[in-house]
Amino acid sequence: MKSSEAGALLGIGDAAARFGLPTHVLRHWEAVGLVTPARDGAGRRRYGTGDLTRVAVAVRAKQAGLGLDTIRVLVAAADPAERRAVLVGEAVRLRTRIAAAQASLDLVECALGCGQDDFTRCPHYRTHMALGL
């Protein structure tokens, strides 16, 4: 989406402040193709409604753990099926990360709950370690 869409045009400082971002983040996102703000006669960036929507999507996607390359594909894709395929792939990756984090938490909780003075001597802990969990 281009900044020329209907809506007020914001400078980079105001656009960044709206989302609690430093201005260098918006400059970087422009450099990697996430946003394409218009320029005024003096060359200053002007963020329109479409740009602000892309920034909002990018902020939320970053919070969800998506990388900039994935976000760029999501905001650029015109085909809903393409966006869905990207999100399906991300869901698989997130489930894998969640499972690994849960296994790590289980191991830490096992060590914390162990009755041994040295948890590395706990038979249950050793079993987990032997299994690669």
Average pLDDT, the chain: 87
18-27 average pLDDT score: 97
Rounded to whole angstroms, the Cα distance separating 27 from 24 reads 5
Confidence category of residue 122, pLDDT binned at 50, 70, 90: confident
CA 108 to chain centre: 27
What is the model's pLDDT at position 43?
Answer: 92
Question: Whole-structure pTM over 0.85, yes or no?
Answer: no
Closest to 34 measured CA to CA, from 42, 7, 21 = 21
Each domain of the chain, given as residue ranges in start order, spans 1-76, 79-133
CATH code assigned to 1-76: 1.10.1660.10
| Rounded CA separation 65/62 (Å) | 5
pLDDT in tens, 24-74: 999 999 999 999 999 999 999 999 999 999 999 999 999 988 999 999 998
